[in-house]
Amino acid sequence: MLARMTRPAASYAITLARTALLALACATAASLAQAAPDNSDLVAKLLVDKGVLDAKVFDSPATAIDSAASLGQQVRNATSGLVVSAMNFLGVPYKRGGNTADNGFDCSGFTRHIYENSLGLLLPRKADEQAKASGLAPVKRDELQPGDLVFFNTLKRTFSHVGIYVGEGKFIHAPKPGGEVRVENMGVRYWAKRFTGARRAAQTTATPVLATPVAPPAHETPPLGHNDAP
Active-site residue list: 107, 161, 173
What is the DSSP-derived secondary structure letter of residue 219? T
> Which of 162, 209, 165 is closest to 77 using CA atoms?
165
What is the DSSP-derived secondary structure letter of residue 59? G
Whether the CB-CB separation of 28 and 72 falls below 8 Å is answered with yes
- Per DSSP, the three-state class of 152 is strand
d(C-alpha 58, C-alpha 127), whole Å: 36
- Strand residues in the chain grouped as ranges (E): 99-100, 104-105, 121-122, 136-139, 149-152, 161-167, 170-173, 182-185, 195-201, 209-210
The per-residue DSSP string of 98-116 comes to: -EETTTEE-HHHHHHHHHH
Whether the CB-CB separation of 227 and 150 falls below 8 Å is answered with no
